Amino acid sequence: MNDFDSFLADLRSEFRQTLEGRMADVEHAWSGLSGAGGAAARRQLILHAHKLSGLAPTLGFTSLEGLADAVEKQAEAGLHAAALEPAVSALLAEMRRIGDGP
């Protein structure tokens, strides 16, 4: 393993440790869609999903890209919280699986 591979391996490990906080961000934004600050929550949900779809596959977590992209697109399309639930749940489940991994 060369220096860059070693650097990426360390960063992947670090990314796993950030997933709990990132999951909380996604859940918080999703749960806020129905409230008074729904528009701001939607922007946050789109942003969190967008960042995941860019970062995760760059670090090698390719399974998160499509799931995050689905949440982003559905949120952008204006789906309400209940309609977004399947996509958000799928994303959170995969984040949890990766976060619990080695």
> Which residues of this protein are in contact with another protein, per CB under 8 A?
3-4, 7-8, 11, 14-15, 18, 47, 50-51, 53-59, 62, 65, 69
Q: How far is the CB of 53 from another protein (least distance, A)?
A: 5
Q: How far is the CB of 49 from another protein (least distance, A)?
A: 9
Q: How far is the CB of 90 from another protein (least distance, A)?
A: 18
Closest CA to 75 of 40, 101, 99, 100: 40
Beta carbon nearer to another protein, 82 or 87: 87
Which contacts (CB < 8 Å, 24+ apart) does range 82-88 have?
84/30, 84/33, 84/45, 85/30, 88/26, 88/27, 88/30
